[in-house]
Amino acid sequence: MRANRRSILMGSLAAILTPLAARAQTPPPHVKDGDLPPGLPQPDETIDLWPNGLPGGEQPAIEETVIERSKDRLVTDRAVYGITRPRMAVFRPRKPNGAAVMITPGGGYKWVVVDKEGYEVGRRLSAQGYTVFVLFYRLPHEGWKDGANTPLADAQRAMRLIRARAQDYGIDPERVAAMGFSAGGHLCADLGTRYDARVYDPMDAADNLSARPFLAAPIYPVISMSAPNAHPGSREKLVGADADADREAAHSPHMHVPDGAPPFFILHAEDDDVVPAENAVLLRAGLKAKGTLVETHLFAHGGHGFGLRKAVGKPVEGWLDLFLNFAQAVRFANRY
Write down all domains in the chain, each with its CATH number in brackets: 2-329 (3.40.50.1820)
Beta carbons of 325 and 294 less than 8 angstroms apart: no
Beta carbons of 76 and 36 less than 8 angstroms apart: yes
- The pLDDT profile of the chain, 336 residues, written as one tens digit per residue, is 333 444 434 444 544 444 444 456 999 998 876 677 777 889 999 999 999 999 877 788 899 999 999 988 888 999 999 999 999 999 999 999 999 999 999 999 999 999 999 999 999 999 999 999 999 999 999 999 999 999 999 999 999 999 999 999 999 999 999 999 999 999 999 999 999 999 999 999 999 999 999 999 999 999 999 999 999 999 999 999 999 999 999 999 999 999 999 999 999 999 999 999 999 999 999 999 999 999 999 999 999 999 999 999 999 999 999 999 999 999 999 987
Q: What is the DSSP string of 194-223?
A: -TT---S---SGGGGS----S-EEEES---
Phi and psi torsions of 79, nearest 5°: -140, 145
What span, in angstroms and rounded, lies between the C-alpha atoms of 116 and 104? 11
Q: What is the DSSP string of 79-102?
A: EEE--SS-EEEEE--SS--S-EEE
